[in-house]
Amino acid sequence: MTTTAPPPAAPPAARRRRRRTTSDTGLSRVFRWLSTGAGALILLVLAAVAIFLLIEAWPAISAGGDELSARVSWFPEDANLVTFVGPLVFGTLLAAALALAIATPLAVGIALFISHYAPRRLASALGYVVDLLAAIPSVVYGLWGALTFAPLVYPVWDWLASTLGWFPLFAGPASQPPRVMLTVAVVLAAMILPIITAVCREVFLQTPRLHEEAALALGATRWEMVRTAVLPFARSGIVSASMLGLGRALGETMAVLMILSPGTLYSFAVLQAGQQQTIAANIAAQYPEAPPLGVSTLIATGLALFVITMAVNMAARAIVARRKDFSGAN
């Protein structure tokens, strides 16, 4: 054991040289460069986006609040960039969190049904249908949400406001038409459902057969088997699936733009119109008529969104990495 230190140093060098001379020629070599280039390109693009955001946002970041409100008509008086971005960040996080709260239990349920309860034929058909949901363009979700879903859902929101109005989230009166955050959250949940379901399904299917059979052999019912064998095994997979969905919910623009009546308050009232707004929808709404400094301000909010999304993804990575042993990847 102690003498193994020198040998490993030699073989890798030899192996590398051999690979170069024998197999790494012609097309194989070209392919290696292509794939290396593709990998490097991702890093380049990410860096380019970050640099672009910083450069373009700089005029707004360096300008004071007074200058911004003087030269950008929609910039509120007595505000600076931070107090301007604050409510937008709040709205973005609220929308994404609500969507996630609605979508995750539903997705886990669907995935469990597909992986452990449904007959095989039905399971594959259902999985296919759920994947199809991901193929619907977000602008179509937006149109559907604004024109069809919102009018339908008003009685429910009205009931929520009148019976659960004491809870800050459901403070009434419910706005009519319901161009409110809760409507947006439901539509966003439908949009992120497929990705969460697909990942969860794959993770559940990875549960070691032996664990499941052992649980059943100990007299567990199917629900107990799912609870004691499948869910603990899949926990980090569910987390990373949710984070993928969260990423999409954070950046979703069209559906929010078309459904929500925006406002810039720190408000939890998700049944009232004109309370919150998300960063992405705000950029889309204000960009067409924005003066140069206004564009910089919007790009600064985009930078904030970029940072949030990066943070969310890194957090997800960290969680998945910490529980590597149990993730679906092995």
Partner 1 sequence: MERRVKLSRFSRAGSAVVIGALALTLAACGSDDPVGNATGESTGDGSTADTVSDLSGELNGAGASSQEAAMNAWRAGFQSLNADVTVNYDPVGSGGGRTQFVEGGVSFAGSDAALDEEEFALAQERCMGDFVEVPLYVSPIAVIYNLPEVEGLQMSGETLAGVFNGDITSWDDPAIAADNEGVELPSTRITPVNRSDESGTTENFTEYLAAAGGDAWPHDPSGDWPVQGGQSAQGTSGVVQTVQGGEGTIGYADASQAGSLGTVAIGVGEDFVPYSPEAAAAIVDASPRLEGRGAGSLALELDRDTDAEGTYPIVLVSYSLACLQYADEAEAELVKSFLGYVASEEGQQQSASAAGSAPISAELRGEIETIVEQISAS
CA 163 – CA 151 distance, rounded (Å): 20
Q: Determine phi and psi for 80, rounding to 5 degrees.
A: -120, 180
Nearest to 243 by CA among 298, 315, 181, 185: 315
> Which residue matches tokens 């960040």?
89
Contacts (CB under 8 A) with partner 1, residues 196-255:
none
Q: Does 25 bind partner 1 (CB under 8 A)?
A: no
Which residue stretch of 160-168, 183-191, 206-214, 258-266 sits at the interface with partner 1 (rule: CB under 8 A)?
258-266
Q: Select from 147, 156, 164, 314 the one that contacts partner 1 (CB under 8 A).
A: 147
User: Which residue type occupies 126?
Assistant: L
Q: Select from 145, 262, 302, 328 the one that contacts partner 1 (CB under 8 A).
A: 262
How would you classify residue 123: left for phi > 0, otherwise alpha for psi between -120 and 50, otherwise beta?
alpha
Nearer to partner 1, 179 or 201 (CB): 179
Nearest to 196 by CA among 330, 135, 105: 105
Cβ neighbours around 232 below 10 Å, total? 12
Q: Is the dihedral of CA 138, 143, 148, 154 positive or negative?
A: positive
Which residue stretch of 9-17, 200-208, 272-280, 302-310 sits at the interface with partner 1 (rule: CB under 8 A)?
272-280
Nearer to partner 1, 150 or 190 (CB): 150
Which residue stretch of 2-10, 60-68, 195-203, 259-267 sits at the interface with partner 1 (rule: CB under 8 A)?
259-267
Q: How far is the CB of 72 from partner 1 (least distance, A)?
A: 10
Q: Does 271 bind partner 1 (CB under 8 A)?
A: no
Nearest to 179 by CA among 285, 272, 253: 272
Q: Does 275 bind partner 1 (CB under 8 A)?
A: yes
Nearest to 275 by CA among 188, 184, 181: 181
Tell me, residue by residue from 157 to 186, as one string, x for binding to partner 1 by CB under 8 A and - for no binding.
Answer: ----------------x-xxx-x-------
Q: Does 113 bind partner 1 (CB under 8 A)?
A: no
Residues that bind partner 1 (CB under 8 A): 73-74, 146-147, 150-151, 173, 175-177, 179, 257-258, 261-265, 272-275, 285-286, 288-289, 291
